Each structure stands twice: as C-alpha cells, then as structure tokens.
Amino acid sequence: MTGAPTSAVLQRLASTEVLLVALDFDGTLAPIVDVPADARALPEASAAVLALLDLPGTHVAYVSGRAMDSLAAVSDLPDEALLAGSHGVEVRTDGRVELDLSDTERAERERLGPLLADIAEPLDGVWIEEKPAGFAIHTRLADEAATARAEEQALAAADAEAHGITVRHGQDILEFSVRGTTKGDAVSRLREHTGSTAVLFAGDDVTDEDGFGALSGDDVGVKVGSGATSAAFRVDGPAEMAAVLAELGVLRRDRGA
C-alpha cells in the first residue's frame, strides 16, 4: 500500500462528474477523546468539508458508528450534508432519518439492554451507550482486567440470550446491533442516492473496512492511522486527512478552469 493519495489521484477524482466524499468521523476527522460527546472535527477538517459542500456536483456524507442523534450533535454540519449513523442502520437524506425496526428487532434489543447493563454496572470505567438498534460497551476508561471481563461476559450473554445480533469490535468499544447493516451498505446506498460517479471513503477503524469494500473503479479509499486495511492509501491521522480533503476541494473548485 502507498501513502497519501497523490495529487494525480486527487485530480482524477476531482474531475469526476458527481462526487461523493464519505467520511468516518471519530479518529478520521476528530481526534479520539475520552468522552464521546466532547469529540469534534479538527477546525481544518471542518473547513475542508464545508468547502466541499459548497461545490456543485459534490456531496459530503459522514458515515459513522455513532447513533444519528449523537452524530448530528458532534458533526455540526448543515442539513444538506448526508449522515449515516449506527454503521449505516440510520440514514439521513433530504433532512429525513430512516430507521424502522421490526417488532422482533425491538424485542431483541429490549432483551439485550438489561443484560449488558448488569455486566457493566460493577466494572470501573465500563459504561453502556444506548443506540437505536443496539448498545455499545465502552472500555476506554477501564483497565485491562475490567475490559476483558466486560467483553467476555457480554459476548457470552449475547450468544446465550439474543438471536441475530451483529457484534462489532472498535477502538475501546464492543458493539451489539440487532441489524447487520454495514458502512459498506451505507456507502452503496449514498452512492445510489446521489448518483455519484466516484466516491472517496476514509476511515480509521476496523468497521471502516466494510466501507472500503464497497469501493471500485475510480473510487479512492484512505485509511487513517495504523492497522491492516484494504484501502489503497493511508494517512497518519485527522490532520493529514484534513489536508487531503482541502487539496481535493481546491482541485475540484478549479477543475476545467
């Protein structure tokens, strides 16, 4: 794998007819912090995203593991921005959010909630984030022993008591969802919705690999930070990602000029 996308790669992407820039949030635009509600995109990342949103034939989407409410709160984007939350389970297009859980999914979620709460309650630094289609167990503030205990017990409980649950590992987080939609599904859905002729997708975590898997042809995938990836390009962190977005914006603004 190479490093950051070169100017030639970005130039080709910038010259596509309809462009979708689909971005993970935490760890990609916003540095990781202890309290999820405190996370914000770097100022230079926000500036680059707003500049892209202003360009004709250009769509920007945040594709995040966060629940939609949480993503909308931290992302600070105008309504025309597309949002996919809960790893693609919730999608906001044209200002409307779609999420219709079936009765079975609702019942599964209700069964799982108290089980996970009981597991987290006695463990220092372990806490549960509620999401519309499931729950996330956060362990960033827990020690190794508490983390191992929480993960082991939660996986066993989900295995024994719930059915059809999708489990996802992320950075200091273990997520349980009653729906198996992925970021790859979200990228495909947003590509279709916008009629995009090429897509840039960037992400830092394991679940972003589904997003890279939905790319083809003239699309560009950028892995942010370390770790195995199928993305063709890699940058070190949110600051370097912001620089890529800024360059893409300038090239797209000036295309054909």
Q: 216 burial class (0-12, 13-18, 19+ CB within 10 angstroms)?
A: exposed
Nearer to ligand L263DTV3, 132 or 249 (CB): 132
Nearer to ligand L263DTV3, 69 or 161 (CB): 69
| Residue 175: CB minimum distance to ligand L263DTV3, A | 6
| Residue 30: CB minimum distance to ligand L263DTV3, A | 6
| Residue 148: CB minimum distance to ligand L263DTV3, A | 16
Q: 133 burial class (0-12, 13-18, 19+ CB within 10 angstroms)?
A: buried
Instruction: Give residues in contact with ligand L263DTV3 (CB under 6 A).
Output: 24-27, 32-34, 36, 39, 64-66, 129, 136, 138, 140, 170-173, 175, 205
Nearer to ligand L263DTV3, 14 or 150 (CB): 150
Nearer to ligand L263DTV3, 25 or 176 (CB): 25
| Residue 69: CB minimum distance to ligand L263DTV3, A | 11
Q: What is the DSSP string of 201-239?
A: EEE-STTHHHHHHT--TT-EEEEESSS----SEEESSHH
Q: What are phi and psi of 218, to 5 degrees?
A: -85, 5
CA dihedral (78, 79, 80, 83) positive or negative = positive
